[in-house]
Amino acid sequence: MKQSERIQISDGSVVDQGFTQQVIQLTGEEVMSCFQCMKCTNGCPLAPEMDVPPNKAIRYVQLGMRDAALAADSIWICATCYTCTVRCPNDIDIAHVMDTLRRMAYQSQGDATTKSHIVHFHELFLKSLKEYGRVNETKLLAKYELREGRFLKDAKLGMKMFFMGKMNIFPQKIQNKEQIEKIFERASKRKG
Amino acid sequence: MGIQIAYFPGCSLHSTAKEYNDSIKASFGSLGVELKEVPDWNCCGATAAHSLNESLALALPARNLALAEREGLPLFAPCSACYHRFILANRKLRSDDELLLEVNELIDPLVYKGGTEVRNILEILVEDVGVKTIKKMVKRPLKGLRLVSYYGCLLTRVPHGQASDDTENPVYMDKVVEALGAEPVPWPSKMDCCGASLNLTEEAIVCRLSSHILDNAQAVDAQAVVTSCTLCQLNLDMMQSGTKPEYNHQAGLPVFYISELLALALGHDFPSGQWKKHFVDPKGVLEKEGLI
């Protein structure tokens, strides 16, 4: 891929022409065919909470506005419900594009987002998965609550679920744990 | 009937959704569907994997697809979120030989050839078993029970393709509800999003979305909600639990798994612990209709 060319335009935002190509290459989606009908955003259940709704995120990709797209809170709030994807008249898998932006943001800036708690939750989830091959929800929740300093807020809910028999204290481990460790090891070396 | 299927319970059916697991085993046993648990299955990766690392989002499901392929059986994932991850990974791996090769390097010593079909609970009930068969096997019709079918997001939303049920107005769950003798009530929130895994990170959003769904169920005078998704069940039920100031919706609507109602209608008697796993105790509604 040729070196990205970053150009500052009149309103101060930066345009990175390589960004558009990079997203197209990573997703295989024809993002340039979006004509802003806004069906995605009109159907998006999270749009009222988003700083950059899906139609705008796609526009940022088309225009090469890398920084604006990757700094958006929306990419972390997107619940991956796929309403946008199935309604797109141009058959763009928009949820996949949002997902890809999320991973690009994570690779370039880690948890440096106002939604860092969501990043932390995902990291702890994968840590639990790597350790056991399955996710132990009790341990994951406890770790997340401690990490974000909100232990007392969910204490009543957690205790209730424990007494309802919905939480396991002891994690379930798979037999071939080393296979999962290998998958994580190899996946960390493979880009993307 | 002789239907055999590779069963992938997934992490939540062994914890927060144990009642889903128990009722699937009870009802599928009565229907003559043999569940062979995928040996040594692993977590599908869920939202975390596809948010942070695409290789994991492909390889983690691929290992399970490979294990099911060895058994020569279709893979049944009852959790909608697991199901969707399998559908997405499978579509990608089947349409791209180069990618399949790369993912096989990640899951080595296992090998996936692309031969596993993925099924959800409604596809098995409607397409494999058939509603006519289910209707014939009902011993305890759920007569008089007014239910809203809540599909949630992921069962029919397949990118670049067509799901078996209608994408915008699915009917499979209504068909099953009807076969069990209950009344499927039309309502506008069939496919609305409950907020899913944001329940731990963005409660305010989940409260808004889930409360709206409960409001709509109340507005059509439903007696209960029926679903097939673990996160949908948890969020709607929890929203009425009173365990936090925000979780205080007053609908008082039990949220059933479709398999719980199926087992009940097929004549299965649950131990009382089954209903204790619900925040909103369904016993009141079931007793009122003379079902327990």
Q: What is the pLDDT of residues B53-82, one digit of tens each?
A: 999 999 999 999 999 999 999 999 999 999
The band of B1, judged by pLDDT with boundaries at 50, 70 and 90, is low
Q: Which of A123, A145, A164 to mutate to test the interface with B (most CBs of B within 10 A)?
A: A164
- What average pLDDT does this structure show over A150-161? 85
Range of the domain at B21: 3-119
What's the total number of domains in chain B? 2
Q: Do B94 and B161 belong together in one domain?
A: no
Query: pLDDT at residue B50 above 90?
Result: yes
Average pLDDT over residues A69-77: 97
Q: Do the Cβ atoms of B121 and B259 come closer than 8 Å?
A: yes
Which phi-psi region, left, alpha or beta, contains residue B205 (left: φ > 0; alpha: ψ -120 to 50)? Answer: alpha
- Residue A53 resides in a domain: yes
pLDDT value for B161: 86
ipTM: 0.95
Residue B59: inside a domain, yes or no?
Answer: yes
Q: Is the dihedral of CA B233, B239, B244, B248 positive or negative?
A: negative
Does B95 share its domain with B181?
A: no
Does B125 reside within a domain? no
Residue A100 forms part of a structural domain: yes
Query: What is the pLDDT, as a whole number, of residue A1?
Result: 46
Owning domain of residue A129: 116-189
- What domain count does chain A have? 2
Same domain, A40 and A132: no
Considering the domain architecture, whether residues B139 and B71 belong to the same structural domain is answered as no
pLDDT above 70: percentage of residues in chain B:
100
Contact assessment for residue B176 and residue B262, using Cβ atoms and an 8 Å cutoff: yes
Q: Are residues A103 and A122 in the same domain?
A: no
Chain A contact for B263 (CB, 8 A cutoff): no
The domain boundary, picked from B90, B119, B148, lies at B119
CB nearest to A103's CB, from B42, B53, B202:
B53
Q: Do residue A26 and residue A11 come from a single domain? A: yes
Residues B141 and B215 in one domain: yes
Element (H, E) at B34: strand B33-37
Does residue A78 register a pLDDT over 80?
A: yes
User: Do residues B115 and B184 both lie within one domain?
Assistant: no
- Residue B7 and residue B36 in contact, taking contact as beta carbons nearer than 8 Å: yes
CA distance B26 to chain A (A): 19
Q: Hey, are the CB atoms on A183 and B107 less than 8 Å from each other?
A: yes
Do B140 and B281 lie in one domain? The reply is yes
C-alpha count within 13 angstroms, C-beta hemisphere, residue B87: 23
Tell which of B119, B153, B170 closes a domain.
B119
Q: Are residues A68 and A141 in the same domain?
A: no
B220 touches chain A (CB under 8 A): no
Q: Which residue of chain A is at minimal alpha-carbon distance from B50?
A: A99
Please give the residue that has the higher pLDDT: either B48 or A13. B48
**Are B161 and B33 found together in one domain?**
no
- A168/B14 Cβ within 8 A: yes
Contact B159 A184 (CB under 8 A): no
Average pLDDT across chain A, whole number:
93
Q: What would you report as the CA-atom Rg of chain B, rounded to the nearest whole angstrom?
A: 19
Contact, B116 vs B65, CB < 8 A?
yes
Same domain, B149 and B280: yes
CATH of the domain at A71: 1.10.1060.10
- Answer yes or no: do B42 and A103 touch at CB < 8 A: no
| Shared domain check, A128 and A100 | no
**Which of A85, A115, A180 is facing B42, going by the closest CB pair?**
A180
What b/e string do you get for B190-221 counting C-beta neighbours within 10 Å, with b at 16 or more? Answer: bbbbbbbbbbbbbbebbbbbbbbbbebbbeee
Is A17 within 8 Å of A65 (Cβ atoms)?
A: no
Cis bond upstream, residue B109 (ω within 30): yes
